[in-house]
């Protein structure tokens, strides 16, 4: 266990470390993101555009059921991806390789708790945003690291939310700043991808593929960024380093 020497975190440091983790794990994280985000999105696009907007095709109950089913499958796969990337990030931060197989195993093991978190937090935050927005922002900041807490500590849904609230206490303005920087990066990247899809729009299916890959990269960046944030908050609040945290996966 390491001694805490810094009582806060640097937003630039979190972003920089997140990009470093991604750059060191381009292959395994890329495979995970493509497998759990890009491929399902391509399938969804095929279902929507191929079945519903084709010549003579129209909306039907069967088509809507197919889209709903694929949407649910895509959401579940995204949950597995998040758990996989939390595990892989800690493996990397502790100096060990993050294999695709081990990461998927951890993602599968934590998919249900993460699903519970997204349902409970999503409902509460959604109501908060309806009630003059500010309550929703506050809850979002409080629960910013609930998913990494659920994957690492596995305390249960409500305990993970409470754990996140405790870890983020005293740092929520910084987390808001981090979220804004993250949003700017994602928006700039999305605009660049939009321009790229316009350039290649004459090539069949290529714009769809570019968009799917871009969404996969955004998902990976988000998961890694908030996992690095969780690691920093654990260091500040609990006085533990990444090696001690990563031991729970051994």
Q: Give the DSSP letter string of 73-125.
A: HHHHHHHHHHHHHHHHHHHHHTT----HHHHHHHHHHHHHHHHHHHHHHHHHH
What's the total number of domains in the chain? 1
The conformational region for residue 87 under phi > 0 = left, psi -120 to 50 = alpha, else beta, is alpha
Give the three-state DSSP class for 196.
helix
pLDDT at 65 over 70: no
Q: What is the pLDDT of residue 1?
A: 38
Total-model pTM: 0.83
Other Cβ atoms within 10 Å of 143 Cβ, number: 22
What length does the chain have?
250
pLDDT at 58 over 90: no
CB 42 within 8 A of CB 208: yes
Q: Provide the CA 73 distance to its chain's centre, in angstroms.
A: 16
More confident residue, 63 or 108: 108
Question: Among candidates 9, 2, 18, which has minimal Cα distance to 220?
Answer: 18
For residue 118, is it within any domain? yes
Residues 154-177: tens digit of each pLDDT: 878 899 999 999 999 999 999 999
**For residues 179-193, average pLDDT:** 92
For residue 5, is it within any domain? no
Alpha-carbon distance of 129 to 139, in angstroms, equals 9
pLDDT at 2 over 50: no
For residue 125, is it within any domain? yes
**For residues 196-210, average pLDDT:** 78
Proportion of the chain above pLDDT 90, given as a percent: 30
More confident residue, 105 or 207: 105
Top mean pLDDT of 3-12, 48-57, 115-124, 199-208 is at 115-124
For residue 132, is it within any domain? yes
CB 18 within 8 A of CB 220: no
Domain residue limits at 216: 11-249
For residue 6, is it within any domain? no
Give the three-state DSSP class for 60.
coil
More confident residue, 222 or 4: 222
CB 55 within 8 A of CB 214: no
For residue 1, is it within any domain? no
Alpha-carbon distance of 30 to 220, in angstroms, equals 8
Tokens standing for residue 129:
């945003």
Residues 126-164: tens digit of each pLDDT: 998 888 788 889 999 999 999 999 888 887 889 999 999
Q: What is the pLDDT of residue 61?
A: 54
Q: What is the dihedral of CA 5, 19, 180, 158, to 10 degrees?
A: -70
Q: What is the pLDDT of residue 183?
A: 93
Q: What is the pLDDT of residue 247?
A: 72
Alpha-carbon distance of 145 to 225, in angstroms, equals 10
For residue 3, is it within any domain? no
For residue 2, is it within any domain? no
């Amino acid at each position: 266990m390491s001694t805490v020497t810094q009582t806060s975190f640097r937003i630039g440091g979190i972003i920089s470390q997140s990009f470093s983790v991604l750059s060191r794990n381009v292959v395994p994280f890329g495979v995970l993101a493509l497998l759990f985000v890009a491929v399902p999105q391509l399938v969804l696009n095929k279902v929507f555009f191929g079945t519903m907007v084709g010549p003579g095709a129209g909306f039907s109950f069967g088509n809507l059921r197919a889209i709903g089913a694929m949407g649910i499958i895509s959401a579940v796969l995204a949950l597995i991806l998040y758990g996989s990337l939390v595990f892989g990030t800690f493996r990397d931060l502790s100096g060990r390789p993050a294999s695709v197989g081990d990461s998927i195993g951890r993602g599968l093991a934590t998919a249900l708790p993460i699903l519970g978190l997204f349902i409970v937090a999503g409902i509460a935050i959604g109501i908060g945003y309806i009630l003059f927005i500010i309550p929703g922002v506050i809850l979002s900041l409080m629960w910013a690291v609930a998913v990494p807490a659920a994957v690492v500590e596995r305390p249960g849904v409500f305990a993970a939310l409470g754990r996140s609230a405790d870890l983020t206490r005293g740092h929520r303005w910084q987390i808001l700043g981090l979220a804004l920087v993250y949003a700017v990066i994602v928006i700039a990247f999305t605009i660049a991808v939009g321009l790229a899809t316009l350039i290649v729009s004459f090539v069949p299916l290529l714009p769809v593929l570019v968009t799917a890959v871009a969404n996969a990269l955004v998902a990976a960046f988000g998961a890694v960024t908030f996992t690095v944030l969780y690691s920093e908050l654990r260091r500040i609040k609990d006085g533990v380093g990444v090696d001690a945290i990563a031991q729970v996966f051994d």
